[in-house]
Amino acid sequence: MNLWHLFLRGLFAAIAVACSNLLGLAQQPEAKPSTLSLQALLNEALAQNPEIRAMQRSFDAMRQRVPQAKALPEPMLNAGYMGSPLLIPPFEVQKGDPSSNRFVSLTQEIPYPGKLSLKGRMANVEAEAEWWAYEQARLNLVAEIKDAYFDLAYLHKAIETLTRNKLLLEKFARIAEASYAVGKGIQQDVLKAQVEISKLIEQLALLEQRRQVAEERINSLLFREPETPVGIPQEIAPRDFAFGLAELREMALQNFPTLKAQRRRIDREQINTELARKDFYPDFSVGVTYANRPGMPDMYGLNIGMKLPIYFWQKQRPALAEATANTGAERERLENMTSLLFFRIKDRYLAATTAQRLAKLYGTTIIPQSTLSLESAISGYETGKVDFLTLLDNLVTLLNYQLSYYEQLSNVEKAIAAIEPFVAVSL
């Protein structure tokens, strides 16, 4: 009997130490090989993602439209022959025919003053819109990488925690088996412990599957092979999210690339409206001509022409109405984007602050209390004041709280990462 008590005391002492280590209070973090750096992932993703590279090239292409838009139309060069008969190979001036001649003319079209400047401004704001679309895509990719990273960090921590608790449950099962063997326990205790161990094995299998999927997600974002090892993320540390909702909204109004791109689209339509008004005025042309006639001095000519917008009710007026309507449509889209932006920011802000409060509650109150409850249950079971099922329930409860704690830490970071593309600032 004394040997039995000594066995139980030694086993319970080992369990008590292990319970304290669950919170990292009595154990230094284990050295983890091939630590996965978030910054390294971001750098690689931004460098390797073909969509990002494609949008960068699109912006570079759009920039080249600016000088093209501001340039004058190409001049028109004409050369010809006039005479009788009309065609005389090889188009020689007919001797004795003063009406025959050869001529060369050069004509330059000159748009109405201000048109070229407006076209240049339009091309420039279109290029700016393309830049902000590129910037938004870059921020979205960063957010997606962070989401995948913190998801993987949670899964690694959850697997580590479950594995450690599985060892504890196996110790508890040995206690139940030993108690049952000497007539101090019941078979139900043994079976219950085995069931809980089986449930942990199932959880571990599911988490391992999720871990593999998370790693493949990261590899896909980096355009790697799915089975490429990614390493182990750093543990997520608790942190305070000090930004308020009003502050985040103001930052988004100023920085959100999608809003900036939409404002550029409004600018484009406003410029297009000005250009449509300019089309009510004529474009001009200036030309020079050289002519050679037999027996006569060379002749030179100068001509000035203009386009007459006399069909304005079919062309210019509808074009102006179209541009005005497009401006209104883009303004409505901006208003809708802003409303949707505020909703998304609030949604993710509430997710971040709620997860932060829960993580703090678990870390500072619930888990320490559950740890004390488990340690008390261990002492009570040793003295016969607590049954085995109560002891087991305390362990399982603590495990679930630990998993919830690590999950909420991950949720905080994922929610903050989801806000960052809206404010264009690393929070």
Cα 286 from Cα 111, distance rounded (Å): 11
User: Do both 257 and 402 map to the same domain?
Assistant: yes
User: Do both 234 and 105 map to the same domain?
Assistant: no
Are residues 309 and 282 in contact, defined by beta-carbon separation less than 8 angstroms? Answer: yes
| pLDDT at residue 18, as a whole number | 56
User: Do both 299 and 197 map to the same domain?
Assistant: no
The region that residue 424 occupies, defined by phi over 0 for left and psi between -120 and 50 for alpha, beta otherwise, is left
Residue 285 pairs in a beta bridge with: 109, 305
Output the pTM of the full model: 0.81
Q: What is the CATH number of the domain that holds 47?
A: 1.20.1600.10
DSSP strands (E only) in 48-152: 76-82, 101-110
DSSP strands (E only) in 293-383: 299-306
User: Do both 29 and 50 map to the same domain?
Assistant: yes
Collapsing DSSP to helix, strand or coil, 205 comes out as helix
User: Do both 341 and 407 map to the same domain?
Assistant: yes
| pLDDT at residue 1, as a whole number | 45
User: Do both 214 and 141 map to the same domain?
Assistant: yes
> In tens digits, what is the pLDDT along the chain, a chain of 427 residues?
444 454 455 555 555 555 555 544 334 445 455 788 899 999 988 888 888 888 889 888 888 888 888 888 899 999 887 766 555 555 454 554 566 778 899 999 999 999 999 999 999 999 999 999 999 999 999 999 999 999 999 999 999 999 988 888 888 888 778 877 777 767 777 788 888 888 889 999 999 999 999 999 999 888 888 888 888 998 899 988 888 999 999 999 999 999 999 999 999 999 999 999 988 899 899 999 988 877 778 888 888 998 888 887 888 888 889 889 989 999 999 999 999 999 999 999 999 999 999 999 999 999 999 999 988 888 888 777 888 888 888 888 999 999 999 999 999 999 999 999 999 888 8
The region that residue 114 occupies, defined by phi over 0 for left and psi between -120 and 50 for alpha, beta otherwise, is left
The distance of Cα 32 from the centroid of its chain, to the nearest Å, equals 29
User: Do both 227 and 296 map to the same domain?
Assistant: no
**By residue range, what is the domain housing residue 226?**
2-72+115-279+315-423
DSSP string covering 148-201, please?
A: HHHHHHHHHHHHHHHHHHHHHHHHHHHHHHHHHHTTSS-HHHHHHHHHHHHHHH
Cα 94 from Cα 86, distance rounded (Å): 10
User: Do both 100 and 14 map to the same domain?
Assistant: no
Which residues 6+ apart lie within 8 Å of 172 measured at CB? 15, 193, 388, 391, 392, 395
Structure tokens at 281: 């005025």
| pLDDT at residue 301, as a whole number | 87
**Residue ending a domain, choose from 310, 328, 361:** 310
Cα 135 from Cα 256, distance rounded (Å): 9
Sheet with 284-292: strands ordered across = 76-82, 101-110, 284-292, 299-306
> Directed axis angle between helix 187-221 and helix 388-423, to 10°?
10
Collapsing DSSP to helix, strand or coil, 354 comes out as helix
User: Do both 267 and 225 map to the same domain?
Assistant: yes
| pLDDT at residue 2, as a whole number | 43
Are residues 152 and 218 in contact, defined by beta-carbon separation less than 8 angstroms? Answer: yes
Cis peptide before 90 (omega within 30 of 0): yes
User: Do both 89 and 62 map to the same domain?
Assistant: no
The residue type at 313: W
Residue 303 pairs in a beta bridge with: 287
Are residues 316 and 276 in contact, defined by beta-carbon separation less than 8 angstroms? Answer: yes
User: Do both 419 and 288 map to the same domain?
Assistant: no
Domain count, the chain: 2
| pLDDT at residue 401, as a whole number | 93
Phi and psi torsions of 149, nearest 5°: -65, -50
User: Do both 260 and 408 map to the same domain?
Assistant: yes
